[in-house]
Structure formats: C-alpha cells, structure tokens
Amino acid sequence: MKKLLYFLVAVFVLSACSNDGVTSSKASKDKTVITVSAAASLKVALNDIEKAYEKEHKHVDLKFNYGASGALAQQIKSGAPVDVFISAAEDKIDDLVKEDKVSKQDTKQLLKNHLVIVSKDKLENMNVLASEQVQKIALGNPDLVPAGKYGKQALERANLYEKLKPKYVPAKDVRQVLTYVETGNVEAGIVYTSDLKASDKIKNVVRIEDKMHDEIIYPAAIVKDTKHMKEARAFYEYLDTRQSIEVFENAGFDKVK
C-alpha cells in the first residue's frame, strides 16, 4: 500500500512537471523529455544549468522533480518514470543500486555541501538552541531528508538532540525549513550553506563544523529504466563539466576532489 501511494504521488508530481499547458506541449512535441529527480537544495543551480543545457541541446526538454532525496528514491523504487537522479546523500543511491534500479557504474560523486543553523535572531553557537530564546526549530525528517539526518547527527554529537525534541517542527525538505525561518514560524532551522543563496531574508547564520556529521556528498545516477539512455547519459556527463561545476560553486556547493 505504501509503495502504491509513493507511485501515485510520483506520477502526479511528474505529470504536473510536464503539463504546463498546450503551448508547452507543442514546444516539446519534437523533443526528447528527460526527467530529472533532484534534491530540493539543488533547485537554484539546476535552474541555470537547465537553461544552458537546453540552449546547447535543442532536441532535449529537461523536466525537474524536486523534493527530499528519500522521497524521490522511494518514487524511483516504485517505478516512477525518472531518467536521472541527483541525491543529497549517498545512501539513497546505494539503496537504488541494491534494488537494481541503478547500475553502480552509472553513479558518481558530484558535489559537497555543509550545514548551517539559520535563525530569526543572532545565535552565538549551537548550544543556544537549548535556551528560551529558541522555542521552535525546523528540521527535515531525518528518515527522508538528508539535511535532517546530518542535522540530527550534529545535534546528537553535541548532546542536544533528545533535549530539543519538544522544539522540533518537521519539514518535508530543506526549502521548507528555510521558509519556516523566513516567515518567523520558527526561531531556527538547519539547512545547507547552498540554501543561503536562495534567500535574501536570512541574515543570521551559524556554521556547523563538518566533523559533527558524516561528510555531505551529492551523488548523481542514471536510472536503469530510462527509455532515453543516450540523452540521459549525455546530461549525466554534463553535470560535472567545468561549465556546470562553476554554476554549482556559485550556488554554494563544492566540487568533489
């Protein structure tokens, strides 16, 4: 039942991505549509990459499905029509390899990211999250949202996670965490450094040391069931060209060495 629900949601979302009206349908009539499921934190960078790629490859129409990496992986497991997947955590790709949805040789480490605490008022450090100054903390669901998983690790290593449980406001992805802080619905939230590029409203930031959590690696993969392997592989390869890496770096990511 759960797998069926994921599949129905995936089909609805992916259909919405590709049905922007009659004009869009006509424009895409003679193009190969490549569906890319990607972590929500990649949206700013991939919007720019989409424009550049489609300008160079006029026969391709890229369609993006953004969300929490865990939820996107579940959609692929359930048979959602996805060609390329870019995750915010390696374990989501590893699971798809185990499920035979992705070939190991069609995966690669693409980017690195870092964690920050964003807040309404200035915080001196992570420990202030336990004070009365902070009543609510937005955190992605650790089971589905990699930023939530890494955030949980950092809070556990700081001996804060259990203590802060009454303050957590769950979020479906990092962009929702950012929105909660921007709108003042919470006093603080944990997001990636790259997410700061998507907001001009966040002024208060505390960097979380990388040693407090697992290394944040963004891998990319070609989905085995793609009906357009040639075009999917071409875009997959384009993701780590110099042109694309410059876009990612401008959006706050680091290239994997």
Same domain, 124 and 148: yes
pLDDT tens for each residue of 47-82: 999 999 999 999 999 999 999 999 999 999 999 999
With contact defined as beta carbons under 8 Å apart, do 181 and 131 qualify? no
Residues 106 and 9 in one domain: yes
Strands 32-39 and 60-67: parallel
Would you state the pLDDT for residue 9?
47
Position 22 pLDDT exceeds 90: no
Task: Let me know whether 29 and 44 are in one domain.
Answer: yes
Quote the number of domains for the chain.
2
The CATH code of the domain that includes 55 is 3.40.190.10
The answer on 119 and 90 residing in a single domain is: no
The per-residue pLDDT for 199 is: 83
The strands making up 102-113's β-sheet, listed across from edge to edge, are 60-67, 32-39, 84-86, 216-223, 102-113, 254-255
Last residue of a domain, one of 188, 207, 226: 207
132 and 72 within one domain: no
Check whether residue 220 and residue 97 sit in a common domain: yes
What residues make up the domain containing 249?
2-112+216-255
Query: Over the stretch 142-195, which tens digit does the pLDDT of each residue have?
Result: 998 999 999 999 999 999 999 999 999 999 999 999 999 999 999 999 999 998
Say if residue 89 is in the same domain as residue 38: yes
Q: Is the pLDDT of residue 238 over 80?
A: yes
pLDDT of residue 17: 52
Same domain, 19 and 106: yes
Q: Based on the domain organization, do 124 and 83 belong to the same domain?
A: no
Whether residues 198 and 244 fall in one domain: no
**Both 131 and 200 in a single domain?**
yes
Q: Are 86 and 220 in contact (CB under 8 A)?
A: yes
Same-domain check for residues 64 and 53:
yes
